[in-house]
Amino acid sequence: MNSQFKKGVLELIVLCSAFDQDRYGYELVEAVSKVVDVNEGTIYPLLKRLTNEHYFETYLVESKEGPPRKYYKITVLGKQRCDILKAQWNDFFQSVNEFLKGC
């Protein structure tokens, strides 16, 4: 699939997959890469950016296996952002599909 397509929706998918529950980095990456086939390494920078833009908050939780895990918690701002992106995606998806029907 076109990598530019993926990049656009990646933010939406990341925000949505942490919408209902807090998730730690690896878990999020796995969840996202199930939906889109994407280089897993590039999701961490995205998480970083979304945290810097206050869409996520992070906290550490001790884990029995290995080092403490960094959990990502979506903020109110993040939820708003997710809704906006979702609406935009739906609009876009609909109009493109409408157009493609006539092709």
In whole angstroms, the minimum distance from the beta carbon of 7 to other proteins comes to: 10
In whole angstroms, the minimum distance from the beta carbon of 16 to other proteins comes to: 19
Shorter beta-carbon distance to other proteins: residue 59 or 93: 59
Residues forming contacts to other proteins in the complex (CB under 8 A) are: 25-26, 29, 39-42, 44-49, 52, 57-60, 65-70
- Reference 89, options 12, 18, 14; nearest CA is 12
In whole angstroms, the minimum distance from the beta carbon of 12 to other proteins comes to: 17
Any long-range contacts for 45-50 (C-beta under 8 Å, 24+ apart)? 46/10, 46/11, 46/14, 47/14, 47/72, 50/11, 50/14, 50/15, 50/78
Shorter beta-carbon distance to other proteins: residue 52 or 97: 52
